[in-house]
Structure 1
Amino acid sequence: MKRIVFNGCWAGKNVVGVSRYAYNILRELDKLLDNSKDKYCVNLLVPANANEHELCFKNIVVVKKGQYTGPVSRIIWEQIIFPIYVKKTKGIGVDLTLSIPVRGVKYIAIHDCIYESFPENYKGHEIHRAFYIWRVKKVTAQENVQIITVSNESRKEIVKYYGVAPNRITVIGNGWEHMKEIHPDESVFEKCMIDIGKPYFFALGSKYRHKNLAWIITAAQTNPEYTFVLTGNDSFSNESEELQKNSPDNVIFTGFVSDEEMKALMLHCLALIQPSLHEGFGIPPLEALSLGKKIIVSKASCLPEIYEDSAIYIDPNKSDVDMDALMQEHTGDARSVLEKHSWKKSAYEMLKLIGS
């Protein structure tokens, strides 16, 4: 029987970003194991302080080891506790979370190469960036380690920056089915003083320059008849803080919102905007498509690869646009994109790869 050990360092934290990728693939993988109990023994190694209610698996065995409470304990857990457990159990180590253990893994996910392509994102955090890149180079130099990534565009970047042979890289993308389980919380409109009766565009922002927050601000200035609602972490960069300070009145910054609040905002918007200069996959437009919403995305990075003709495309370097004209552009049926990218399909591809 083949033992597979997944890195569960994300357990006990908010399931967002790469944690969402790991969590949802494992949930679907757990279902697939109903028919493979005699072939695989799958463990999820998590810190001792992990949240139990998030780990309700039928076939995947959750094992608790060590603490994960701060920067030092995080490094110890990821770089020592996880690899030791994999070695001790003679398992196949799998990391889908970007913690990048330099030992003890056979399969590791690199979602994008943002540390390489946008070093300015990490101004003031150069040591953090250098430590991450060192780990990636250390792991990718090991010929027996297989790389998982989320788009063909990211695959090309991994080849470019880390010299990994293309045949060592497998593309396994994101999914959208988690949106069906999220119940919209419409109290967000009162909380953030958003008039639900007025038409608005919605975007999920962040402090990083590659998310291209400036595009939203300029588009809002050019289209004052519409509101632009931007959610994201409160800890914006200095550049973004300046944009926020000088943004027009029709831009609303909500700060961080829950999944339930995000779904409510997405359900009532005219369209979701993702003007990114760079993405590994770009999951918010997929979530919006699953709700039947229009999406406006950059004709850049992996976004045309993922969204094909289901999106309205923009030039991320040209934000002086007429939103009414954009919304009149024809798009294709979103169903083909939703069928192509799902957690169920990704879990199947993951088991096929690791279990072979």
Structure 2
Amino acid sequence: MYKTIAFNGKFFGAELTGVHRVAEQLIAATDALIAEQSGDSADYALVIRNSVKVPSYRKILCVRENPLVRRMHRIAWEQLYLPLARRKDFILNLCNLGPLFHHDSATLIHDAQVYSAPESYSLSFRLWYKLLFFFIGRRHKLIVTVSEFSRRELVHYGVASADKIVVVHNGCDHVLQIRPDEGRLATLNLAPRRFVLALANTQKHKNIAVLLKAFAKSELQDVTLVLFGGAKKADFEDLGHVVPPNVQFAGWVTDPELVGLMINAGALAFPSLTEGFGLPPLEAMALGCPVVAAPFGALPEVCGKAALYADPFDPDEWSLKIRTVLDDEAVRQSLISAGRRQAGIFTWKQAARNLVDAVKAVTPA
């Protein structure tokens, strides 16, 4: 193998996203894995852009950038400085993009949504990602993705050939290590099991519109829909959506607050029209929160038979399935048990093992 496997740490210090969370978990799990494997001859490093705080690792060395380039824009840092500074290393990019001019690289591309759901992204964003995907898929030695669905999509849209793409499913067991904070229940005046959680996201493919329509119906008037995340009521209304009175916006929540909401929620609703993986449903399952999801994208692959599925274009069906989860105790308990089993399949240790094995397969012995 290469003397050093270098993680691209550009994302540290940036606004936290789901993609960044996955990268953090993968790096931490890889560190724990290589600490157990005394026979691994490669060194591992995390290369970061600035003086931001990063977790402590047992085996992964944290390498901070040359002070002379600290003011370099993050794109220039990734495309110019990183491949030059680590030109003898194998670079692991975990957040969709990576340096174009470094052939000895592996890049984790989570999904193909800039192709399949273009209306969810700005024109400049789509063009930039498509440009980089085109070259990354051809130049980098390995493309990693998070589901068989995403693998098929990346092949379909010509990002990379099937023989170059390896699937490494995400883990979800990190939520079991988070101590819940139930303070938001009092703040939002929520009764346990009488509210449903969903993402506050206005991207069209997230399809929150179907939930707004479902919760406007009389069948769900006594249930609260709690939307967590960055989008506000005005953001949905500006797009022409009608927000019924039984919808509350929790805003950004901390990890302990989200866990506190999930363990008390009647269900998590996830009506996405496409997902590369779909981590929130698995996190909810791990915590004993039933899931109602759309049978689209990678959700059937990830959730298996442990979720109730509803037509993402039918508010009546969402109303019915949510009502069933809330009121039918036999169905509810069955979903909780099946959900915990399903979530138990997806661990970060297994994800790290699959990632390390995939990298070893394309690097010289």
Map 1:171-186 to 2 at 5 A: 171-186=167-182
Q: How far did residue 257 of structure 1 move?
A: 1.4
Q: Which residue of 2 aligns with 1:351?
A: 356
- One-letter code aligned to 1:217: L
Map 1:46-125 to 2 at 5 A: 46-51=48-53, 54-65=54-65, 73-87=73-87, 90-104=88-102, 105-122=104-121, 125=122
Is the aligned partner of 1:290 residue 2:286? Answer: yes
1:283 & 1:77 partners in 2: Cα distance? 29
Q: Which residue of 2 aligns with 1:11?
A: 12
Unaligned runs of 5+ in 1: none
Asked if the contact 1:172/1:346 (under 8 Å) is kept, the reply is: yes
Q: How far did residue 80 of structure 1 move?
A: 1.2
Q: How far did residue 91 of structure 1 move?
A: 0.7
Of stretches 322-331 and 198-207 in structure 1, the one that deviates more from structure 2 is 322-331
Of stretches 37-46 and 207-216 in structure 1, the one that deviates more from structure 2 is 37-46
Asked if the contact 2:284/2:291 (under 8 Å) is kept, the reply is: yes
Q: How far did residue 49 of structure 1 move?
A: 2.6
1:334 & 1:314 partners in 2: Cα distance? 17
Unaligned runs of 5+ in 2: none
Q: How far did residue 340 of structure 1 move?
A: 2.3
Q: Which residue of 1 aligns with 2:46?
A: 44
Please give the root-mean-square deviation of Cα atoms over the aligned residues, in Å: 2.3
1:8 & 1:132 partners in 2: Cα distance? 19
Deviations 1:90-142 (A, max 9, x none): 111110112332122521111001111111112xx312220111011011122
Identity rate, percent: 29
Aligned pair count?
346
Q: Which residue of 1 aligns with 2:229?
A: 232
Is the aligned partner of 1:23 residue 2:24? Answer: yes
Q: Which residue of 1 aligns with 2:166?
A: 170
Q: Which residue of 2 aligns with 1:249?
A: 245
1:269 & 1:102 partners in 2: Cα distance? 44
Distance 1:210 1:288, change over 3 A: same
Map 1:236-315 to 2 at 5 A: 241-242=238-239, 246-315=242-311
TM-score by length of 2: 0.88
Report the secondary structure of 2:101's partner residue.
coil
Deviations 1:186-217 (A, max 9, x none): 222344x3333571111123121111010110
1:231 & 1:285 partners in 2: Cα distance? 14
Distance 1:66 1:256, change over 3 A: farther
- One-letter code aligned to 1:214: A
2:233 & 2:258 partners in 1: Cα distance? 19
Q: How far did residue 22 of structure 1 move?
A: 1.1
Match of 1:220 among 215, 218, 222: 215
- One-letter code aligned to 1:93: I
Distance 1:335 1:239, change over 3 A: closer
TM-score by length of 1: 0.90
